[in-house]
Chains A and B, each alone.
Chain A
Amino acid sequence: NAGVTQTPKFQVLKTGQSMTLQCAQDMNHNSMYWYRQDPGMGLRLIYYSASEGTTDKGEVPNGYNVSRLNKREFSLRLESAAPSQTSVYFCASSAGGTADYEQYFGPGTRLTVT
């Protein structure tokens, strides 16, 4: 039982390049989330998916798109990377989308944009 997995673990991009961060969970959870963590700041929510087929913006969605590919997978796409998107990205999942459910986190992807 792997929980929440993320690929890649590390990535370096040049400004303007695109890439997709992958996230998968094997806990049959309905809800999934993408966060970013910057030095001196807490994790901030980028997008979330309350259930398969739905996605919604979080606190900092600009410059990102997401796809809930199926119940297991939730990807985050940077269409044209900028240095301001240098960060550590965490994916999480929970059984339900309301505040009663614990979120389970992946190990993170460290992205550097030069």
Chain B
Amino acid sequence: GNSVTQMEGPVTLSEEAFLTINCTYTATGYPSLFWYVQYPGEGLQLLLKATKADDKGSNKGFEATYRKETTSFHLEKGSVQVSDSAVYFCALRFSGGYNKLIFGAGTRLAVHP
């Protein structure tokens, strides 16, 4: 079946460190891929997305590239801030049909000064 696997957290980094959160997927077909972020006490927000192979999504200094050959969509940021502390969810969705998102388990990021 279709699924998303994320690296387990928590990920703890110092401010200005480089961030990578791994995400791989299993899918029968060619889904769109997403990263959502959940800040403490808030709902999930769309961070970035990519709709086809080799697309790069980017937002707020975060980037992720849709790699069909490795079925991956790893999230990266060159220099994290304390305000980036949150839970990050990778997800996929197929076009056509209803609006069904399939989520990974989430990765908690803690950035300290």
Interface residues of B in 30-72 (CB under 8 A from A): 32, 36, 38, 41-46
CB contact between A99 and one of B45, B89, B93, B105 (< 8 Å): that residue? B93
6 contacts between A and B (CB under 8 A): A43-B44, A43-B103, A90-B43, A99-B93, A99-B94, A99-B96
Distance in angstroms between the alpha carbons of A96 and B45 in the assembled complex: 17
A binding-site residues for B, Cβ under 8 Å: 3-4, 31, 33, 37, 40-45, 48, 50, 56, 58, 90, 92, 94, 96-108
Partner of B91, one of A3, A31, A42: A42
**Given A90-B44, A108-B43, CB of A99 within 8 Å of CB of B4:** no
If A42-B89, A42-B91, A99-B98 touch, whether A107 touches B105 (CB-CB below 8 Å) is no
> Which size bracket describes the interface of B in this complex?
20 to 34
Instruction: State whether A101 touches B41 (Cβ < 8 A).
Output: no
Give the chain B neighbours of A103 by CB distance below 8 A: 46, 99, 101
